[in-house]
Homo-oligomer: A and B are copies of this chain.
Amino acid sequence: MARTYGGVAPEQRRADRRQRLLTAGLELFTSTGFRHTKITEVCARAGVSTRNFYEEFTGKEDVLRTLHDQINSLALAHVTAELDKVADADAMTRIATLLDVFIATVTADPRMPRLTYVEAVGVSAELEAQHQVWVDRWANFIAAEASRAAEHGVAPVRDYRLTAIALVGAGTGLLREWQAHDPPLPVEEVGGELRAMMLAAIMRPEKILETPGNPWARSGVEESSRAGAQGGTRRT
């Protein structure tokens, strides 16, 4: 049943068509918008017939979900690869690396943040669930690095789950602005801001809420860190 056609295995041909459809989808979804993109337009741009389209995907949303997954996976792969290289660097360097690689990856093509943070939002319950999964993954990643920093004594020992989620949100918001802005925001400023915010959020003393004024002016992180490890009410 599976013959080679045109000198190419059918699987290869399928894969090629699929790839072209994804490329066309990325381009059209981020320019005309997902809502206003028609399947036939995607097919036309990809040079693929609608018949073949339905062989690869169940519909428009399927393409979008796949792209969303691919972009996140790509970024995660880059980040993990780079983090492995600095496996035994100090915690703050690792956090900075995590961020720099992430920013570099997703800003390499403005269509990536556009698709992930704008077009793929509020489309369907499945996509929201997928978003949720990825936020969890990134947040766990960040929380793990923060805990590592805490072990090294450069950050308080506490639960970083919510902080990590907020940081993911900060990145999302910043990148959404970045891709929408005209004139474009400088990438290095966006990256710098995110890096600074992340470090500040992780290194901040735990009691910042209760103490009016400026706690950091009075006591260093070391002290707060120790206090957090002893008296913290949250789980570690």
Query: In chain A, residues 135-167, which have Cβ atoms closer than 8 Å to a Cβ of chain B?
Result: 135, 154, 162-163, 165-167
Q: Which of A205-221 contact B (CB under 8 A)?
A: 208-209, 212-214, 216-218, 220-221
CA distance A214 to B93 in the complex (A): 11
Q: Confirm or deny: A194 has a beta carbon within 8 angstroms of a beta carbon on chain B.
A: yes
Is chain A's binding surface mostly helix, strand, loop or mixed? Answer: helix
* Residue with the highest number of chain B CB atoms closer than 10 Å, among A123, A169, A196, A199: A169
In the complex, the answer to whether A221 meets B216 with C-beta atoms within 8 Å is yes
On chain B, the residues within 8 Å of A170 by CB distance are 166-167, 169-170, 173, 197
Which residues of chain B come closer than 8 Å to A119, judged between CB atoms?
122
Residue A102 at the chain B interface, CB threshold 8 Å? no
Instruction: Choose, from A17-25, A48-56, A69-77, A124-132, the stretch at the interface.
Output: A124-132
- The interface stretch among A8-16, A79-87, A103-111, A185-193 is A185-193
**For A214, what are the chain B residues with a Cβ–Cβ distance below 8 Å?**
92, 154, 203, 220-221
What size tier do the contact residues of chain A reach? 35 or more
Name which residue of chain B comes closest to A132, CB basis.
B180
A213-B124 contact given A169-B174, A173-B170, A193-B166, CB 8 Å threshold: no
B35 touches A123 (CB 8 A): yes
Determine whether the beta carbon of B173 is less than 8 Å from that of A165.
yes
Whether A166 touches B194, Cβ cut-off 8 Å, given contacts A90-B212, A122-B118, A199-B208, is: yes
CB contact under 8 A between A209 and B192, given known A33-B125, A216-B216: yes
Encoded as 1 (CB less than 8 Å from any B CB) or 0, chain A from 32 to 49 comes to: 011100000000000000
Is A176's CB within 8 Å of the partner chain B?
Answer: yes
Pairs A-B, 5 closest by C-beta atoms: A169-B173, A121-B121, A200-B204, A170-B170, A162-B193
Task: Report 12 cross-chain contacts, Cβ distance below 8 Å, ordered by A residue.
Answer: A33-B122, A33-B125, A90-B213, A162-B189, A163-B196, A169-B171, A169-B173, A172-B172, A173-B173, A197-B201, A216-B216, A217-B220
